[in-house]
Amino acid sequence: MNVVNVPAKVTKGEDLVIILKKEYEELSILKKIYEFSPTAAQKRALRIARANRKKGDSLSLNELRRKLAIRN
């Protein structure tokens, strides 16, 4: 087993995690893939949806399916 001494002043008292470079690169790729930044319109729609749900103004999945089936 290899031992590495890292001075506390380098980590500024924070925890330090060491991983292989290959693993780090794989993780950094995943971060780019799964990162999501909603647009202003999406944020507004989410606020409205949350408010509607809080008021009890929402549909169950079965109700939604019925309404969609009626349209088609």
Flag residues of the chain having pLDDT under 50.
none
In a domain, 58, yes or no: yes
In a domain, 56, yes or no: yes
Range of the domain at 46: 40-71
DSSP H helices, the chain, are 8-11, 21-34, 40-55, 61-71
Specify the DSSP class assigned to residue 13: T
- Domain count across the chain: 1
- pLDDT score, position 3: 75
HSE (side-chain half, CA atoms, 13 Å) at 56: 0
In a domain, 33, yes or no: no
- pLDDT score, position 16: 83
In a domain, 45, yes or no: yes
Chain CA centroid to CA 15, Å: 23
In a domain, 25, yes or no: no
pTM above 0.85, yes or no: no
- For the record, the structure tokens of 4 come out as 């590495």
